[in-house]
Structure 1
Amino acid sequence: MAEMDKFILSIDQSTSGTKALFVDRHGHVLARSSEEHKQMYPSPGWVEHDPVEIYNNVKKAARSSLKLAGIDASKLAAISITNQRETAVIWDKTTGMPIYNAIVWQCQRTADICAELMAAGHEPLVQAATGLRLDPYFSAAKWAWILEHAADAKQLLAEGKLLAGTIDSWLVWKLTGGSIHATDYTNASRTSLFNIHSLTWDEELCRMFGVPHELLPVVKSSDEVFGYTDDPELFPEKVPISGVIGDSQAALFSQLCLEPGMAKATYGTGTSVLMNVGDKPANSGNGLVTAIAWTISGKVTYALEAIIRTSGDSIKWVRDKLGLFDSFEEMERYLEKAPDNEGVYLVPAFVGLGAPYWDPYARAAIIGMTRRTGKAHIIRAALESIAYQVRDAVDLMEEETGIRLKVLLADGGASDNAILMQFQADLLDNPVVKSDVSELSAMGSIYLAGLGVGYWKSLKEIAALTKSGKCYEALMPAEERERQYAGWKKAVNSVLNVNQKTNVKKGESIR
């Protein structure tokens, strides 16, 4: 069958659910299906997912989108995978079952593990090898926690029955019938165990965290063929798996941020602000981390990233926990009623704060309320908190790299909100371009899979498929912009851990 008659199926496994998309060689989405999975919060600051539920949802979404598209599985050129990063799973390779729930990237249960390692002076080693901070956000401490606390973990480890991975490697292992244990460079680079210079698992870091090297997956380029499906409940045919990449890096690739200095923000449950820095890792610090943007045919491109733990999730919290609105249409009506926040700020430190503060012990607060404060002001404060955090991140990137961003490319669910995008452009005093493609992470993995199996022959061919989106220009006067931003910084300062505050010199801004 000619390649032009075939299609690519993308599995987009995110923090809140799983999407499956069918795309043709023109980049058109022919069908999509989605399944939500449960969010578990067994203790304050703890977040878990059920890996088995996630895999079952992958199969449901894939079969459903196949049916919607009216496409036979024999017409699939490849399956691609893009995934929530840093979420950690350990499973028994003899039973195929996890020994504990997946510990989600947001989870802060390992803050004390990281604090102990930091107190012992290990952070410089971690940062030099991996480009990452010593922080519970990343996977290594999560695996260490599971090995220490899961029932029978020590016995199963001694018997050589355990495998560890992030969500992508869990899905690859399940999709291939347990025959392939592999990850890609982007996901490996987010674990705190992968040396981004030697491009290997770091034995010293594995010993330090107590995660044996033998548990970890083989690392491949995003455009390699990882293996072939072998699950009769999914497809009778064997379909190649390629285009495996973490969700934020996939969005960067989909936005065609192929040159150093190009950046994007993915507005999801959290927000990742990512900048291409070329073929050599940048010296990250002050809350930024270095990651591998992608690897194509063995050639590595690096990125600088600022991580925002809670953004779109703040809107969900206001809706579901406070009950301030029922639908996004109702939210829009409230925002129109309150065109100004009237000094009300929501600092969404539900699971600590990421860049540039990196305080896992900070907790959320609503600041500046008066007797006039109503639903509309709190809803607006929640929405605006997303833009303030992105401003924090961009300011830090400009400071660290010496590169002034000329435009921010925006994607993800919250980027659909025009009020947010306009406010973001105003805060940054820079254009913000909102992509017309709603599933950029999925499209990024699809493009890489297409390159991997020869569906598309070159980046130039892929570039011809992409479209420019809506551009928001800054309109807010400079004095007003800085007044509102100063209020945000004051609000953040009120929730930072007391020990962090005492380390800040008088008159110095908290970074």
Structure 2
Amino acid sequence: ADSVLIGSIDQGTGSSRFLVFSSSTGALITYHQEEVDIIYPRNGWAEANPDQLVQSVLSCISSAVSNLAALGIAANRIGCIGIANQRETLVAWDRRTGEPVHPAILWLDARTEQTVERLIATTRSRSAAEFRSICGLPITTYFTGVKIRWLLDNVPAARELQSSGNLMMGTVDTWLLYKLTGEYATDVTNASRTMLLDLATCQWDPRLCRFFGLDQKMLPKVCSSAELFGRISVADCPLAGVPITGILGDQQAALVGQGCLESGDTKNTYGSGCFMLCNTGLSPVVSSSGLLTTVAYQLGRSAAPVYALEGSVAVAGTAIRWLRDSLGIVGSVAETETLAGKVPDTAGCYFVPAFNGLYCPYWRSDARGLIVGLTGATSREHLCRAALEAVCYQSRELLDCMETECGTTLNRIKVDGGMTSNRLLMQLQADLAGVTVVRPEMAETTALGAAVAAAWGHGIDMTASVRQSSVTEFYPMTGPVDRLRKFQRWLDAVQRSIGWHRQEDDGEGDAGGSSAGSLGSAGHLAFAVFLVGSAALLALSLSVK
């Protein structure tokens, strides 16, 4: 087993990557990454080109294999491949041609707001929580089932394909698996994000399929997270014939990659959004505080599924990129750490980045972004710090919910994701949440988690390697009184953002279809972002030091 290498496909919102790990040590051998475009055709809409997702993955595989060759390592040492993917995103295609019938509707897309209202109105309880006891999720714009309903209501070609029995659809893992191997399947973690899975049986639920108006026979087969899904059959792929033996939704993959394999273990991933997962063991915990109940992993067909509670924040890293791309007040994402570090606080400025509504624990799609507390002395340094603090406050809210649900105090939290390289952000998180923040030296926890699942499905146990990584710890440096005072002001700002959006606002702004290499790099986010205060005051505040 020492000589076996494990490949890992990490298909995220803004990029695709292929990474190669040692199965014996968990060490990263090489990787290649390519950005993917995010398309914003209208306010609140977010799409991707399904074919570009596949092509970017194949390109990353080819480049990573070339890297291996340069290291003198043969590609045939890669014994199996795992997939970690952005979750909830919907891809639908024609069974006969394999061609997509519509752009991929991304997880953060909010076009389904009216669909959600109509669906809730048809439930017995007239409540978004109608099916929480079955699928663990509220009826909201986030989840795949709602996106499927919108597609069938608004795209005649999709309706016709369903009528003729030729519609295939699924999350990104299913789409990649189909295009790479010809197999039509998903794993339990991705299936648990659709609103169509019964958490108790880990199979599609007939009641939920009927509610959303779907033919259950058209859905992909639900598999465990670690088994043989298929073999790569793309002729010119250098890894043709290699089996795909593991699939995990990206946040569940990070949980596994962080070694959070015991009940109570908690991790927070800082990427485009923030995603906190707490392992709850072998039984699903239905939340009463706005958290999501989800499948954490199932390592093999005969293994029992393990569950988790999850808190999701829609905007984290996206807010930093917005400062760069839309306001132009920083030249790079990394510059925000330098600028924010030049001031001791935000000078009373709070930034609620509800660009597309609020996720946990509010679930309010009518919230919109705001910046409050602006004065003539507010500088770009203060805004950068407020943006970083917004990430921390949102995570603090998730942590509070976790503690309420689990009945325990969480003193330590494991962290991962691209934003964790920002040391100031990590220290602010420790200060504003009052917890020890534990950052592993191995930054690639999502891809590593997919590799662990793939190795397991290939008969190799890599779990020891994820439990032993070295870490950097950040300890709280502020007192509880100051921490609570600031948090109360944050909560006040959040309340002001809720209910801002009106349906008539949807006609405002650009609907002309911008496309971005990473979130927002087309020069603006076509999200409905409303800054409190006049544009003149904002311009003045940014120019005054």
Contact 1:387 1:423 in 2 (8 A): yes
Is the aligned partner of 1:319 residue 2:317? Answer: no
The residue aligned with 1:238 is 241
Cα deviation digits, residues 167-207 of structure 1 (max 9, x gap): 0010000110x2x1010000000000000012210111111
Q: Hey, what's the Cα distance between the residues in 2 that align with 1:124 and 1:315?
A: 32
Q: Deviations over 1:26-64 (max 9, x none)?
A: 212111111111111111111101110000000001110
Q: Structure 2: how far apart are the matches of 1:237 and 1:62?
A: 11
Determine the C-alpha separation between the residues in 2 that align with 1:231 and 1:367. Answer: 53
User: Greater CA deviation, 133-142 or 122-131?
Assistant: 122-131
Find out whether 1:211 has 2:214 as its counterpart. Answer: yes
Is 1:306–2:311 an aligned residue pair? yes
Q: Distance in 1 between matches of 2:190 and 2:95?
A: 21
For 2:429 and 2:387, locate their aligned partners in 1 and report how far apart those are by CA, in whole Å: 13
Of residues 289-298 and 333-342 in structure 1, the stretch that sits farther from structure 2 once superposed is 333-342
Name the residue aligned to 2:4.
6
Deviation sequence 1:445-466 (CA, Å, 0-9, x none): 1011111112x3363x4356x3
Q: For the residues of structure 1 that align with 2:333 and 2:191, how far apart are their CA atoms?
A: 36
Instruction: Give yes or no for the alignment of 1:284 onto 2:284.
Output: no
Q: Distance in 1 between matches of 2:382 and 2:129?
A: 43
Structure 1 pair 333–457 and aligned structure 2 pair: CA distance change class (3 A): closer
Paired amino acid for 2:491: K
3-state secondary structure, aligned to 1:307: strand
**Partner of 2:112 in structure 1?**
110
CA contact (8 A) 1:265 1:408 kept: yes
Distance in 2 of aligned mates of 1:137 and 1:58: 24
- Of the candidates 351, 366, 371, which is equivalent to residue 356 of structure 2? 351
In structure 1, what is the equivalent of residue 139 of structure 2?
134
Question: Which amino acid in the other structure matches residue 389 of structure 1?
Answer: Q
Shift of 1:166: 0.1
Q: Which amino acid aligns with 1:6?
A: V
Distance 1:261 1:236 in 2: 38
Task: Tell me if the contact between 1:89 and 1:143 (Cα under 8 Å) persists in the aligned partners.
Answer: no
Q: Deviations over 1:337-373 (max 9, x none)?
A: 2221011111010111011111011110111100001
What runs of 5+ residues in structure 1 fail to find an aligned partner?
Answer: 501-511
Give, as a single letter, the amino acid of the residue that structure 2 aligns with 1:363. R
Q: Say yes or no: does 1:223 pair with 2:226.
A: yes
- Are positions 1:98 and 2:93 aligned together? no
1:40 paired to 2:45: no
Q: Distance in 1 between matches of 2:436 and 2:11?
A: 30
1:83-110 deviations in Å (ceiling 9; x for gaps): 0000011111211111001100101111
Give 2:510's aligned residue. Answer: none
Tell me the CA shift for residue 327 of structure 1. 2.1
Residue 16 of structure 1 corresponds to which residue in structure 2?
14
Distance in 2 between residues matched to 1:149 and 1:112, nearest whole Å: 12
Aligned pair partner of 1:480 in 474, 482, 498: 482
Which of 1 and 2 has higher RCO (CA within 8 Å, sep 6+)?
A: 2
Structure 2 residue matching 1:4: 3-state secondary structure: coil
Within 1, Cα distance between the matches of 2:359 and 2:333? 27
Write out aligned runs for 1:49-448 (5 A). 49-70=48-69, 71-121=73-123, 123-176=128-181, 178=182, 180-235=183-238, 237-297=240-300, 298-448=303-453
8 Å CA contact 2:91–2:102 kept in 1: the answer is: yes
CA contact (8 A) 1:99 1:151 kept: no
Shift of 1:374: 1.2
Instruction: For 2:462 and 2:482, locate their aligned partners in 1 and report how far apart those are by CA, in whole Å.
Output: 46
Letter in 1 for 2:433: L
SS of equivalent residue, structure 2 residue 40: coil
Aligned-partner SS, 1:494 = helix
Residue 260 of structure 1 and its aligned partner are, at CA, apart by 1.3
- In 2: Cα distance, 1:286 partner to 1:498 partner: 23
Q: Secondary structure at the match of 2:235?
A: coil
- 2: CA distance, partners of 1:151 / 1:72: 48
Which position in structure 2 is the counterpart of 1:31? 30
Partner of 2:521: none
Q: Residues of 2 paired with 1:441 and 1:237: CA distance?
A: 24
Distance 1:321 1:113 in 2: 29
Residue-by-residue CA offset, 1:264-300 (whole Å, 9 max, x unaligned): 0000100101001110000212211100000012311
| Cα distance between partner residues in 1 of 2:434 and 2:337 | 24
Task: Classify the secondary structure of the residue corresponding to 2:102.
Answer: coil
Query: Partners of 2:461 and 2:429 in 1: how far apart?
Result: 37
Partner Cα distance (1:124, 1:359) in 2 = 13
Q: Aligned to 1:447, what secondary structure does the other structure show?
A: helix
Partner of 1:457: 461
Residues 203-242 of structure 1, C-alpha deviations (whole Å, 9 max, x = no match): 1111111222122111111111111110012136301101
Q: Which amino acid aligns with 1:247?
A: D
SS at match of 2:386: helix
Deviation at 1:261, TM superposition (A): 1.2
2:366/2:501 contact within 8 Å kept: no
TM-score, with length taken from structure 2: 0.88
> Structure 1: how far apart are the matches of 2:58 and 2:136?
35
Q: Give the CA deviation at 1:73.
A: 3.3
| Alignment RMSD | 1.6
* Matched AA of 1:38: D
Identity %: 38
User: For residues 339 and 74 of structure 1, do their structure 2 counterparts lie closer, same or farther at Cα, with a shift above 3 Å needed?
Assistant: same
Equivalent-residue separation in structure 2 for 1:121 and 1:148 (angstroms): 18
The 1:476–1:212 alpha-carbon spacing in structure 2 relative to 1, beyond 3 Å, is same
User: Do the aligned residues in 1 keep the contact of 2:455 with 2:462 (CA within 8 Å)?
Assistant: no
Which runs of 5 or more residues in structure 2 are unaligned?
Answer: 503-545
